[in-house]
Structure formats: structure tokens, C-alpha cells
Structure 1
């Protein structure tokens, strides 16, 4: 059966129910719990709750849930960080340590789980058979398809874009309720708020510096509606292409919007921040500093770019998304502030906040220097 014709009928017949029960008994959750464990889990007290997700959708479910499919590594990280990693019963390709070897240690615990494949077009059968109770997804995902295809199997769809800093902070209490992990969610909220206070205190009265953000390809930037744009603003900067708006903020275009290189020169940014190196996957494994330096050199050697203030002052940064997107990109916002205003944030140790995030993941801390480079540093 292919994804295209996987369209369950509105109600589950006896045959479908038996098939689903059989699939669940073979699922990683069932194998992990064993028969007696399943009975114990089913007997655990669950209460019906209704939460309002990011899109304003009211979702009613039994909580705490015991099985979830997070559809992207951002989602996987948040579930694990609040202490609910054991509820993950299937993963997408970005959370599969066998496919993303840069994360072979970071996501090692999930290596044996079924992989539903591409996060923009997952294998719905794999998700349905996993025993998941919730499809935990983002606004720029095929969530409408998920509602249609997974509802007959009793799988609820919760939309929380965990790559969006403001959305993540607003939804952390709901995430905690869903998983019965209120304390873990509160701890993450505290980390977020601690960073927010640092930004508020240290950036008071600054004249925002102009920032050109480039998203892992030449002359590709991000616009309002993307978490990338938010990190610039939260970090005390002004996105030089922040005046371009797209009505559908769920569109991929807000994250990867191609611009005219001449216009970048004309808008003359004070700082250039580039995400990624083409062909290198972001992950826990440290990045090669020579590759980071090479990317920075390619940027400054573009024709006519020696006229840009950022190039003249060597304010060009290249980074790995692994560290930058931590905690819904709130760690990235702190890094932006440190890069833009090093004197104002001289007493702020970004590594200390990043270490708190990695501790929540159950992973040994690593310095931001493993994932970022400044031209000429």
C-alpha cells in the first residue's frame, strides 16, 4: 500500500481494528513494555484534557500520553528535554542516528525505532502501526494530511512549531500537560526565561545593527514568520530583509527566500550570519573549523562584497544549526546578541546556557566554539 492511497475510512471496522492491534503488539512500545507492561500502562490513570495548539485548534486527548511520533528532530529534542523521551515510538529521518551519522551519539537511544522517512511526506502506515497516540508536528508540516489519515486510528494531531522561540515558550505548559511532564516543561521554560532576561537587560537602548542572515545557500535568506528572523530581532538586530512579508507563514518560502546579491550590497549589513555548510549535516559531532573558515572566506570573496561594512569589519559568522536552534532557537538568539554586541555581553557565557540545554538532553556539554566560527578569529 502506498502513501498516496493510504486513506482510511471514517470509522474502523473489525478487520482494521484487529490489524491495528496486531501492529501495536509488534511496535517498539509494545516490545519495550512487554505484555504485562502494556496492561500496566493501559491501567495507568489518564484524564481527558483539551489544549489549544499553536494554530488555535482545540485538541482533546487522554493525558498523559504514552506514545508519540515527533515529526522532526526539533520535536524529538523537546519531547526528550522535558523528560518524556521514553514515549517516542517512531522517528523521522532527521532523528535517525543511522542516517544522520553526525547525531549517532546524540540520538543513539532511538536507533531501533521505526523510521517514518521524510518529514514532509512521511509513511503514514509506519506511524499508524507504531502505536502513537499523538502526531507532534509543526505548522510547516503536512499536518492537514495527518489529521485526515491518522484520525481513524485514534491518533491526535498537535501542532507546535518547536523551532519558533515565541511559540515554543507559549506552548511549553501545554506540552508538559500532554506528557504529564509539567516539571520538565517548567525547567525548560525557566531556561528560556533566564536567557530572555539576559537579552532584555543587556540590550536595553541599543540601536539595532543591520544583519544579513543566509540560510545554508548563496543569497538565500529568511523572512518574518521564520524562527531565523526572530533570532535576529531577539538578539538586538534588524533583519535587512525584514520588510518583505509573506502572508502564509507556514510556507517554506519564509525560511528560504532567494534575494538579489546586489540588493544585499545595497542594504549594507553590519553583520553577516550564515547557517551551515552545503553538504554537511548539522549534529552533535563538532564541525571542522577549516570548513567553517572556508565558508566564511567564500562569502567575503564574492564580487563587490568588499564594499559591505560586515566584510570590512570582519563581522562574518558561520555556524551549525545544531547549537543555534537549541531551545526553539533561543540559544541562537543569545549567540546573535553576543556576536552583535560583544562589549555589552562580555560577562555572558553562552556555553553555560547551552550546557543546560544539553544536560536536559542527557548529553555531555560541548562548547559553542565546536559549532561556530568568526572570520579572522
Structure 2
């Protein structure tokens, strides 16, 4: 009888121990689930991460710049060739053995797997579906972040902040630029929009709704003369007919500068080319010397919001006395990209207090 009681007691202890262990596992599982990070990418896809990312491979320089802006650049272990070749813009951080392909459309999956990242961050116009199919068996998540869209700057910054566990830094950076946009909107609330022709690199390559550059001009309160066009490539004679008050051009096919700006001679050659186009001497912007040149590098800062600041100030200097785009560019470089300030990315040149 005593032996039977002893066995019963022992079985009770074992049962309770297992029950407690099970409860402990349930609690651990519940805790793990609670700590997971659920994000929604630029395509509206739900992606669940076990923890803030500490190893990422990235395509598209706009994404890399935003990651750098929130202080997570050390978590990037691989980049595409376009990012890698910009050695000056990223302080020689990325080496050849970190290259994961030519671009977001041409990826080296063997290299990505070799680098053992937790995520691949690319843009939705890249090969994300193919990437997901090939990388998911290795536990590598694919996240789309379309960081080149100016009007999505804050959303993308906060998304990356959540991915890397840098929410505070993301909010600070977003607030900095949001305050500038708010100032522009308040100051220009009742000011009629001034007409502008925007050109990207080659003659006749402009911007229309849905294009990457459209919101940069729109947020600057520019009245885009081709806002109703169906194609970004227009006949340059149409510019004469529409007679814009202002012209803004980004770089040129022969001048593709990065962190180091174009030379004054290169800027002047682009400027003179615009003025010498047949019939363009009749355009108000040309007659009144209302032409602004932006380097390829400067216009793209903060998802082109730096470009927005320059264009707004160029169009409405008398209404925006407290907006200093060159100083915004300096902050973007020194505070958010951890680079030394370098002047000369616009023509005519802006001063820091201008």
C-alpha cells in the first residue's frame, strides 16, 4: 500500500513538472510572438521579422541613403553595384566582395545567400518576386522599399526605422524635413503657382504625374507645364509654346556627378546649351535668366526633398526667407550621411544663408 502511494506521488510530481514545463514553453512562445516585428512594405505586403534586422543586403542607393540617415548603415552587409561604385558617397564602406548584383533587377542570388542576410531590401520595380522565390528557402525575407518617391519619404523612413530598430532616429529625421515642407506650404498657401519646365539629363526628358521627379516639383509648389502630358519625352519646341517662367535641369548625359560636384565649366556648358537651343531665347525663363541647375547628387538627397527645397527657394525667394536649401543640403550631408559638406552642386551657387 505504501509502495502504491509512493508511485502515485511520484507520478503526480512528474505530471506537475511536465505541466509547468509546458506552461513555461507556452509563455516563452507567447513572448517570442509578442517580440516579433510586423511591417508592411511599399507594395502592401506583410512581412514578419523575428527581431530588428542586423544583417541586410540592399539594392538602390535611395534605400541605402535612408538607412544611413537613421544610423543603421553598419547593418548593411551587401549592396548592388550602383551603390558600391559610389565610393565617395558612402566613404568607401562597401567592398567588391559585398556586391550582390548590378541592380535591383539583376541580382546574384548565390552571393546573397553566401552573405547570410536576414533580409533583402530592394524596390518594387526590381526582381522581388524572383528574389522571394529563390531566397525564402534560406530564411531570407524580401522587403520592398520605394525610397525614391518624394511624397513617401516619411513613410519609407519610418518603415526602415522599424525594420532596423531605429524608430527614434527615423522620427527625428522625418520631423526635420517635414518641418521644412510645412513651412513651404504655409508660406505659399495663397500664392499663385509659378510655371516651371523640369528637365532630367537629356533634352526633352521631363516629368509627369507618376514619374519619379514629379512630386519633387509639385511639393515645391511649381506649376509643371507638362503636368497633363502622357509621356516624359516631349518635343523641346513645345517648351517654347508653353513659355515657362522658370527652368530647372538636373545634370546632363555627359555630367553624372556624385558626392563631388560638377566643375563650374561643366555647369556653364549645360546652362549655355539650354540658352542656345533654337527658339529658346524667346522663353521668359531664358530671357530673365531664371534657370537653375542641380547636380545629380544634390537633387536626390532625402528622396529628392533636398531638390524640393532648392526648387521652392528658386521659385519663391521673397516668400521663403527662412528656408535655406544649401544649409538643408549641408545637414543632409553632415548629420544624416556622415560626410563633409561640399559646395558647388548648384548653378548658380547657393550660399548657406541664402
TM-score when normalising by structure 2: 0.84
Q: Does 1:115 align with 2:129?
A: no
Kept after mapping to 2: 8 A contact 1:324/1:332: yes
Specify every segment of 5 or more residues in structure 1 that has no aligned partner in the other structure, as ranges. Answer: 1-44, 246-252
Q: Which of 173-182 and 115-124 deviates more?
A: 115-124
Q: Is the 8 A contact 2:200 2:252 kept in 1?
A: no
| Mapped pair 1:284 → 2:259 | yes
Matches within 5 A, 1:248-263: 257-263=232-238
**1:213 corresponds to which residue?**
198
Q: Per-residue deviation at 1:361?
A: 1.4
2:319 equivalent to 1:319: no
The one of 207, 211, 219 equivalent to 1:222 is 207
CA contact (8 A) 1:212 1:264 kept: yes
CA 1:324–1:111 in 2, change beyond 3 Å: closer, same or farther?
A: same
Give the Cα separation in 1 of the matches to 2:89 and 2:39: 34
Q: Give 1:128's match in structure 2, choosing from 106, 109, 113.
A: 113
Distance (Å, rounded) in 1 between the aligned partners of 2:145 and 2:222: 26
SS at the partner of 1:238? strand
1:374 aligns with 2:348: yes
SS at match of 1:227: coil
1:232 deviation in Å?
0.8
Asked if structure 2 preserves the Cα contact closer than 8 Å seen for 1:215 and 1:221, the reply is yes
Give the match for residue 77 of structure 1. 65
Answer whether contact 1:173 1:186 (CA < 8 A) is retained: yes
User: C-alpha displacement at 1:152, in angstroms?
Assistant: 2.0
Is the CA contact (8 Å cut-off) linking 1:53 and 1:59 kept in structure 2?
yes
For this pair of structures, how many residues does the alignment match? Answer: 317
Q: Does the 8 Å contact 1:191/1:353 carry over to 2?
A: no
* 1:152-191 → structure 2 map (5 Å cutoff): 152-191=137-176
1:204 aligns with 189
Report the secondary structure of 2:93's partner residue: helix
Q: Report the equivalent of 1:143.
A: 128
Please give the alpha-carbon distance, in whole angstroms, between the structure 2 residues aligned to 1:67 and 1:316: 44
Which residue pairs with 1:355 in the alignment? 330
Q: Deviations over 1:280-325 (max 9, x none)?
A: 3331112201101110110111111112111111111211121111
* Residue range with higher mean Cα deviation, 341-350 or 328-337: 341-350
CA distance 1:139–1:242, shift in 2 (3 Å): farther
Three-state SS of the structure 1 residue aligned to 2:278 is: coil
1:64–1:178 Cα contact (<8 Å) kept: yes
Tell which structure's C-alpha radius of gyration is larger: 2
SS in 2 for 1:50: strand
Q: Write the deviation string for residues 86-143 of structure 1: whole angstroms up to 9, x where unpaired.
A: 11111112221xx34xx43633122355112321312222222221221212233222
Gaps of 5+ in 2: 1-32
Q: Given that residues 277 and 292 in structure 1 are in contact (C-alpha distance below 8 angstroms), is that contact kept between their aligned partners in structure 2?
A: no
- SS of 2:77's equivalent in the other structure is coil
Conserved 8 A contact 2:197-2:246? yes
- RMSD over aligned Cα atoms: 2.2
Q: CA deviation at 1:333?
A: 0.8
Are the aligned partners of 1:46 and 1:63 in contact in 2 as well (CA < 8 Å)?
A: no
How many Å separate the matches in 1 of 2:270 and 2:237? 20
**Native 8 Å contact 2:205 2:234 kept in 1:** yes
Q: Please give the alpha-carbon distance, in whole angstroms, between the structure 2 residues aligned to 1:162 and 1:139.
A: 10
Give the Cα separation in 2 of the matches to 1:107 and 1:151: 32
